[in-house]
Amino acid sequence: MDESALERYFDESIIHDSDFVLEEELELQGPRRVLSSTPSAQRPSQLAPKSGATGKSGDDLDLSFLPDELSGQNEPGFSSTETKVPNDGAAGGGSDPVEERPEAPDTAASPFCVMTPMTPMTPMTPVTEGSGIVPQLQNIVSTVTLGCPLDLKFIARQARNAEYNPKRFAAVIMRIREPRTTALIFSSGKMVCTGAKSEEESRLAARKYARVVQKLGFSARFLEFKIQNMVASCDVCFPIRLEGLVLTHQQFSSYEPELFPGLIYRMVKPRIVLLIFVSGKVVLTGAKERAEIYEAFENIYPILKGFRKQ
């Protein structure tokens, strides 16, 4: 922890020594914040007069995570280290992101880490680093245990929105209008809910199905709700040479134009399957959490962009 803070300190001094500002590089190294050179006893108010900092105000500042002894140490050490820090204007000084702060405080030797109260709590979103494209969730599949055996024939008779064809499939297919979803309800009391566009929608829909089953007279409960799969899609808006991609990323990709027009990319970390099409549209599936989808897309976007120039 100390090393990274020191590294950043050195990076800063290099920036000022060589008088050389590479905007892209700075942004690539992560969010940079300007350290104000006016120390004052009250931390929250320091955020407001920050020069060149982010737009976030210090109103939502929560310092409760800082250990108690630190708050005592901070004040005297604060002003002394402030003078050490170079006063940079536009180039942007470095400081720790919010997350690293709790680990920092034990040594007074690197008070630089402790200087973070000056900085906004939420990291600045880098402008050119990210792709700027957000994959939209298209489908969420979740499962729920209702906890009691069900009489499917009875449910199919009593419920308006249910269909049951035991010869074709051994479950009742029930649909509700809001959120527009479909559920498969099995006689064991297990249920699969599909078609929702967000995790909360899926949960609400599953609860509604459970309520319908309850109203029909069964002692249904809402246990073990779990999201099993999330599907998202997005468009990078440029054509992609799938033949080239399969050559360079052979271990992960499978492209068989005779079988399927898209390239199937199996990303290892996070474990997501991406379907990449020549039109630039990308479908991501296999995620259990939204963050996995975003991470996977941010991983693939530079690869695809690399292909665009070739």
Partner 1 sequence: MSRASMRCPGCGSSNIVDDDLYCQAQLVCADCGSVVSEGSLAEESFNGPDISYSRTTAVTRKPCVNLIQGLERVKEISRILRVRREIEELALTYYKQAYEHETFLHVTLQRKEILGGCCVLASCRQQRWPITVGTISCLLNGDPAAVGEVYQEMIKVLNIQAPTFSVTDVMEAHCQEYKVSPGHVPEELAEDSKGLTKRAIALVELAADSWIVTGRQPLPIMMAAVYLAWQSLKPNAQRLKMSLEKFCKLAKVQKSKTAGTRITEMKGMLYKLGKEIPWYKEVLTPDNVVSLVGDVLQHRFSLLRRALKSHELSLLEKCPAGQVNPSSAETSSSSDVSEDAGQTPVKSSVNAEKEKQGRDGDESLKSPSEESNPQTQELTQNWGKRVLFAPPCVVNAKRKRAERPPLHVTGDEEISDSEIESYIRTPQEARDFAMMQEKLFTSNNESS
Chain residues that interact with partner 1, rule: CB under 8 A = 128, 132, 157-161, 174, 176, 178-180, 197-204, 207-208, 211-212, 215-216, 235, 237-243, 246-247, 250-251, 254-262, 277-280, 308-310
Which one, 90 or 109, has the nearer CB to partner 1? 90
> Is there a cis peptide before residue 270, judged by omega within 30 degrees of 0?
yes
Cα separations in angstroms, 90 against 18, 60, 116, 124, 241? 15, 25, 19, 15, 40
Q: How far is the CB of 169 from partner 1 (least distance, A)?
A: 18
Q: Which of 110, 108, 116, 80 is nearest to 5 (CA)?
A: 110
DSSP-assigned beta bridge partners for residue 230: 140, 287
Q: What b/e sequence results for 214-231 when a residue is b if at least 16 CB atoms lie within 10 Å of its CB, and e otherwise?
A: eebebebebeebebeebb
Neighbours of 143 (CB within 10 A): 17
CB of 234 to partner 1, least distance (A): 12
Compute the Cα dihedral for 193, 197, 199, 203 and give only its sign. negative
- What minimum distance in Å lies between the beta carbon of 217 and partner 1? 10
Q: Which is nearer to partner 1, 97 or 225 (CB)?
A: 225
Q: Locate tokens 């973070």: which residue?
A: 116
Is the CB of residue 88 less than 8 Å from the CB of residue 12? Answer: yes
Closest to partner 1 by CB, 34 vs 212, is 212
Q: Specify the residue for token string 């079988």.
A: 259
Contact of 216 with 228, CB cutoff 8 Å: no
Q: How far is the CB of 97 from partner 1 (least distance, A)?
A: 24
- Tokens 């055996």 belong to which residue? 149
Q: Is 113 within 8 Å of 97 (Cβ atoms)?
A: no
User: In the complex with partner 1, which residue's Cβ is closer, 176 or 284?
Assistant: 176
Residues forming a β-bridge with 171: 186
Q: Nearest distance from residue 268's CB to partner 1, in Å?
A: 14
Between 16 and 207, CB nearer to partner 1: 207
Q: Which is nearer to partner 1, 15 or 176 (CB)?
A: 176
Q: Least CB distance from residue 255 to partner 1, whole Å?
A: 6
Nearest approach in angstroms of CB 15 to partner 1 is: 21
**Residue 189, number of CB atoms within 10 A of its CB:** 19
Q: Which is nearer to partner 1, 4 or 248 (CB)?
A: 248
Smallest gap from Cβ 48 to partner 1, in A, equals: 27
Cis status of the peptide bond prior to 135, with omega within 30 of 0? no
Q: Would you say 162 or 171 has its CB closer to partner 1? A: 162
